[in-house]
Structure 1
């Protein structure tokens, strides 16, 4: 810690947990300070020893236009990283440290009234020209920027890529499925909103999803 800089207790992970400064390093200090302390806590906890943080909640709204629906179905070929469940229902998000990629594995579980839940896995890795990448499967990924807007943490796709062994190909703009925006907004009392939007410059909003999650009880944190 630099001399003369004090870090408040409520800005740190719980006692005994490792502090994770990787998200914090992606933002100017002043912007990070604009975030509610609950958001800083969620993105400053580093899991170790296979530990997982579990956030339970529900999808309150999900919608897609016709092209977005077809895109979600086609994306099954790379592991179904887009919503396939288009009805509000229970959902769970888990975050685990990725020992291989030196990042985090995010798993999203969406309950279906009939059949098995949809499970979406992705890995956030602190790499690339923007400092953050999300890998969704089959070598497909995207570079993300991180900003703070109206006290919310906002992730936006900059470009998509395809990893073929040691070779990385950047997907040309005309072939991109759209621009992805994910917003994490604190709602107070241990709750936060998670919103996802996929927008195409020619075909408008393809997919949108709004969900609300709860912090785990103190015994599980």
Structure 2
């Protein structure tokens, strides 16, 4: 694959535009990755404003054979098709994930529901589920007020790691700026150092 064709998909989920730790750190990560390869293209998908929830019509359209879908069903799946295409075309995915009540924001969960589609991003086989999006790199930047990332009460990074693996993305680096209520500056500095290490490893 040529350098010119490489793509980063950046997914923001924080409800805050100003003062968001995940937006600050994910911007820093993307900027640093671009320093290694300035030909890389970046697409940002901000899910914080919300995505449509799945409903009966969406589910019905999704489980209808693509050749048999009505125009209305195709329209119902149009946004999901776009999100899947964005994910499929990316070489690297950067998630900015605040922890809300021990888990990911509801808007990001809806994004997951939109992209986790049989025959599109995974298959059910006799040996079990098979992810179809292999060969990609994901960075999950997680910020929390009090939840320790990686602990038994962290249902954010652990959930995303599982979902990404389910669709075939197993190369996942989690960068934590957690328990920010204890020392914001120190936690930010630790996360920035981890970003520097991750970018160095990527180079």
Name the TM tier (shorter chain).
under 0.3
When you count helix as a share of all residues, which structure comes out higher? 2
Question: Higher strand proportion, which one?
Answer: 1
Q: TM-score, normalised by structure 1?
A: 0.25
1 or 2 for the larger relative contact order (CA 8 Å, sep ≥6)? 2
Question: TM-score when scaled to structure 2?
Answer: 0.26
